[in-house]
Amino acid sequence: MAIVAPFKGLTYNFQQREDISRLVAPPYDVISQEEQEAYYQADPHNVIRLILGKKKTGDSDWDNVYTRAADCFERWQSEGSLIREKEPSLYVTAMTYDPGNGAPERTRWGIIVLVKIEDEKSGVILPHERTFSAHKDDRLKLYRACNAQFSQIFGLYEDPGNSMLIACDEALSYAPQMDFSLEDGTRHRLWMLKNDSLFKKISDAMVNKAIFIADGHHRYETSRNYRNIMRARYGERPANRSYEFVMMYLSNMSDEGLTILPSHRLIKNAPGFQARPFLKKAGKWFDIVELPLAGRTLSREWADLKQRLEKAGQQRTAFGFYTHDDDRWRVFSLKPGARAEMGDDLHPSLKELDVLVLSRFVFQKGLGFSKEDLDDEEIFQYQSNTESAVAEVESGKYQMVFLLNPTKMDHVKEVAGNSLVMPRKSTYFYPKVLTGMVFNKIDPHEIIQLP
């Protein structure tokens, strides 16, 4: 069972700072160097200084991005820029955004709480994507330097009746403690709730539920590694020490505001690539439809591209293909029966994933990449925005792009439920959970009180 609890969160002092929008940022792993600099310039207290500090020439064991983050964190607390709640709270957020394509605005609701860290294969907290040690090492160094968690892990739970948010209805009728908008048009609200009977309702509602990790796989595994280090230093008893928990943003799988975007694959260079032999080989597994551009660039036709791709993917695996300086793009649709040729080493639920069909048939068999190549960021990059992905190929920055439909939620649940993992970047839950609205300070001597 998932064990959740309220906590004494740290927030920016919104009594002093009305413009919270200048202090927040997306998760560290989606921030480019240019965006990092922009967040640095936005405000001297922007959370970027905690989650993604600048490296300097001469960095050492005692002066580096992690130690500087810890210094900022302590200084901001001592000067009153960050304040910690005196009583345990749970934090409800509402993120309103434009999903694009002319669709009406959506609002995704989330509840930020502490969740008891589970050992692998417990069946309670379920990952669905691969992780990489370099990312985990980086986050662990930050954890150990600051003894705090700055970004929530994005978790999903099943609640068709929406009972957890309904339990919060009365409190949400009051004005939120935070309400601000960002330049991208998203609106963010946060309510801090302190009510023992509400805590009990939320806790009871989660008892028989599993949590699917939507985003933050590396951070969740890092929290477990940090917990193990703290256990070795401070012990496993009492069982509810603060390092036994991790801060999560929990959203209902049935929430109408939940959006999954595609994760298109961009290839920098496929050695020896020749279109005609490649297409002939791919034709063994795919029906291929060619669509001429009629003198226009594909980036001007991307809306039509998305519609065609979505329609083709309703009945079978389908993806788009475009190469630099080509006068046409193509739709690949998997032939009936071809899925059986993916190999006996794959679980049936994995064979249903578009990303693995693409990987096995096109990247490995068609283009000759090894499994190791698929994780090489010098070769492959990922982009959720269709228009941007196409534009990067048209500009010549990338040689080719494979455009996918979003992974279906049912596939995510099935893969995680079978204790399996997808290839990296198989899903992109949108929008990302904002960093900077609430932090979790970890005092090894603090005992988390369960409802």
Residue at 425 is within a domain: no
The answer to whether the beta carbons of residues 160 and 254 sit under 8 Å apart is yes
Task: Quickly tell me which residue has 């649940």 as its tokens.
Answer: 413
The answer to whether the beta carbons of residues 214 and 127 sit under 8 Å apart is no
Helices (H), 106-238: 133-146, 163-167, 169-172, 196-206, 217-234
Q: What's the pLDDT at 307?
A: 82
Residue at 422 is within a domain: no
User: Is pLDDT at 229 greater than 90 in this prediction?
Assistant: yes
Q: Rounded distance, CA 127 to CA 155, Å? A: 9
Q: What's the pLDDT at 34?
A: 92
Confidence band, pLDDT 50/70/90 cuts, at residue 312: confident
| Tokens (6 digits) for 247 | 């801060």
Length of the chain: 451
| Tokens (6 digits) for 102 | 């002319």
Provide the sign of the torsion angle of the four alpha carbons 334, 212, 423, 415, taken in this order.
Answer: negative
| Tokens (6 digits) for 223 | 């929290």
| Tokens (6 digits) for 187 | 């609106």
Q: What is the distance, to the nearest Å, from the Cα of residue 3 to the centroid of all Cα atoms in its chain? A: 22
> What residues does 429 pair with on adjacent strands?
260
Task: Quickly tell me which residue has 């994005």 as its tokens.
Answer: 154
Residue at 132 is within a domain: yes
Residue at 297 is within a domain: yes
Angle at the Cα of 403 from the Cα atoms of 323 and 109, rounded to 5 degrees: 150
The answer to whether the beta carbons of residues 205 and 197 sit under 8 Å apart is no
Residues 284 and 160 grouped into a single domain: no
Q: What's the pLDDT at 267?
A: 96
Residues 238 and 268 grouped into a single domain: no
Residues 234 and 191 grouped into a single domain: yes
Residues 154 and 288 grouped into a single domain: no
Domain that holds residue 386: 263-405
User: Is pLDDT at 302 greater than 70 in this prediction?
Assistant: no
Q: What's the pLDDT at 130?
A: 72
- 117-123 long-range contacts, CB within 8 A, separation 24+: 117/223, 117/224, 117/227, 117/244, 117/245, 117/246, 119/224, 121/419, 123/210, 123/419
With pLDDT > 90 as the criterion, what percentage of the chain qualifies? 61
Q: What's the pLDDT at 101?
A: 65
pLDDT by residue (tens digit) across 139-148? 999 999 999 9
- Please count the other Cβ atoms lying within 10 Å of the Cβ belonging to residue 170: 11
Q: What's the pLDDT at 430?
A: 87
Least confident window among 193-197, 299-303, 436-440: 299-303
Residue 8, burial from CB neighbour count under 10 angstroms (0-12, 13-18, 19+): middle
Residues 197 and 273 grouped into a single domain: no
Residues 311 and 185 grouped into a single domain: no
pLDDT by residue (tens digit) across 53-81? 999 988 898 899 999 999 999 999 999 99
| Tokens (6 digits) for 87 | 């009583």
φ/ψ bin of 230: left (φ > 0), alpha (ψ from -120 to 50), beta (otherwise): alpha
DSSP string, 343-360: -TTS-HHHHT-HHHHIII
Q: What's the pLDDT at 134?
A: 73
Residues 316 and 392 grouped into a single domain: yes
Residues 284 and 378 grouped into a single domain: yes
Q: Rounded distance, CA 215 to CA 204, Å? A: 24
Residues 254 and 279 grouped into a single domain: no
> Distances in Å between the alpha carbon of 190 and those of 23, 187, 253, 313, 406?
15, 10, 20, 37, 29
Q: What's the mean pLDDT in 102-130?
A: 88
User: Is pLDDT at 25 greater than 90 in this prediction?
Assistant: yes
Residue at 113 is within a domain: yes
Give helix 133-146 / helix 217-234 axis angle, nearest 10°.
50
Residues 247 and 274 grouped into a single domain: no
User: Is pLDDT at 288 greater than 70 in this prediction?
Assistant: yes
Closest to 156 in 3D by CA, of 449, 427, 436, 441:
427
Phi, psi of 108 (to 5 degrees): -105, 130
pLDDT by residue (tens digit) across 234-280? 999 888 999 999 999 999 988 889 998 889 999 999 999 999 999 99
Name the DSSP letter for residue 19.
-
Residue at 273 is within a domain: yes
Name the DSSP letter for residue 327.
S
Residue at 9 is within a domain: yes
Which of the pair, 191 or 169, is modelled with greater confidence? 191
Residue at 448 is within a domain: no
- Total structural domains within the chain: 2
CA torsion, points 207, 427, 136, 148, in degrees to nearest 10?
A: -50
Residues 297 and 182 grouped into a single domain: no
Decide: helix, strand or coil at residue 183. coil
Residues 101 and 244 grouped into a single domain: yes
Confidence band, pLDDT 50/70/90 cuts, at residue 298: low
Q: Can you give the pTM of this predicted structure?
A: 0.89
